[in-house]
Structure 1
Amino acid sequence: MLKSSSFTREQLENLALQGLSYADDHVSDPFNIKEVSERLGMSYSYFYHTFAEVMKEPFWQYVKRHRLELAAGLLRHSGYNIGEISDHCGYATTAALSKAFKQHFRESPLQFRKILELPNEKRTIQITQAITSAAGDIPLSSFFSYDRCERVTLPDNILYYSLISRGQNPIAEMMARMTHFTGIFQKMKTLYDIPQSRIITGTLDSVPVTDYEKLSMFAGIAIPATDYKTLIQLDGNFSYLMKKRIPGGSYLRLPLPMDFATAGIPMYDFISRNCKEGIFKMSGNHFYISLTQPNFSEIFIPLLRKHY
């Protein structure tokens, strides 16, 4: 176990982010702070204080908030029942989720599911529209059509990523820093010769639920989980990157002649509208934008199989 004096400030920030990454990647699994701190080579106490200082929120408060917000996102966009959502979000029983959910949102899961527009949803969309308004007069609605979607089957992927926003204005930070991070991941893709990988962007959070200022936007490279050789190399050479599993399965793929910033708001409108109308339901909150070219992108939306 390393002592606190063994870490530089940059290393402490990275370790806090690694703790956040672990919590996100194990949202459905039981774990405690001691297990996470030991994995990171830190004492319980030092990890607790480091995470709170760096992330401006105690670790277990983040875990609870993150799980409940993801549960709220599943209530919003998936076809899962509350028992299934409990399992997905790390609650042992439906009663445990319902109690925690009502304490946090002041609504029961059933009541929450009936809300047509959430306060955070409206505010996040308004802020993001103001920041990404450079799209101008492009007629976006014609591109965001279910008829343009292709249903595809994707393998399980491992995502190596960096958070590109941790401040008060995550979308603005994302736009300002995206070119830098996509350049890094493009070099990795070329260096390790992984043509089946995708450079993607998205959020760890549930967009209609999480406060705008707390959204964690990421950029990363998703690699098929069966590419063991590459994964071993990346684990050895890029241990500072955060890491998470992206489940494979049935997805909708929607190609778009626009960049990620232009696609963001109409993408969310498209997902929200189709989920509300029952055209499709999502299997999780892990939809993302694949950055294929500077002015071309693809949206991937995970589908719930039992609705087909």
Structure 2
Amino acid sequence: MQMSQQQLSYRKRIDRVVNYIYDHLDEPIDLQLLADVACMSPYHWHRVYRAIQGETIAATVKRLRLHRAAGQLAHSKISIEEIAERSGYSSLAAFSRAFTQIYGQPPAQFRRAGAHVKLQEAIAQGEGHLYPVEIKTIEAQTLIGLPHQGDYMDIGRVFEPVFGWLGQAGLLPQMRHAMAIYYHDPDSVPEPDLQSFAGAVMEGDVEMPEHFQTRVVKGGRYAVLRYRGAYAEMADAYRWLFGTWLTTNGYELGDAPCVEAYRNNPREVSPADLLTDIYLPLAEV
């Protein structure tokens, strides 16, 4: 189903709001200001947002702030007090309650003994069977979506409009799965220069908005790691895949970027239950 120009207009205005939220997570969220960003009446715009996005502004802000907080706890030395303040909580206790509700453990425990800590210890000890890895041959797949530049943890800012467009156009039943292509190693390329692409693989022909783009995931052999857990802790799974699994199994890397396929929805399951397939390209035999 092709969206009307009016539907596209509303979609673009909601996308502006989402981008504003990503850019101002450290600041108080002003509903009047967001109404101005959306160019809608302050009396009604939030109802439009909820109807299109499937969640309230408060739920969006909480989800994005806690996602960022988990990444900061796992991969930075920023104090928990500062992370709580940046996340918009007036007290450490309030932040701890909200974080525990979503991630299943308090922030201090998550930093001290989360899955990322256990994985780092296992990597140091050279454990070779931390995750299930299968060798698969896949056909080339075309993604419909949008490019992203910058921190990979922020790729959600382009997934939001992709899924919003699919939902508003009634195309979600045609989606096979969501995927992202990651072109660079975040440990060696400066964060502002990181390039990625967020999209969906669709069944059949789909008319997409003019500003959307396509990318092709190269067909061929891949090592596919099934990762279960929060996106914020997934960087260590990559390090294990490259540093332990690849070097002990004798495979040669293929000439293609890594790809992730997302098997469930972060709005519908807890971070601990998120399923992601990481595709590592392998050279043909």
TM-score, with length taken from structure 2: 0.47
Q: Name whichever structure is richer in helix by fraction.
A: 1
TM-score, with length taken from structure 1: 0.44
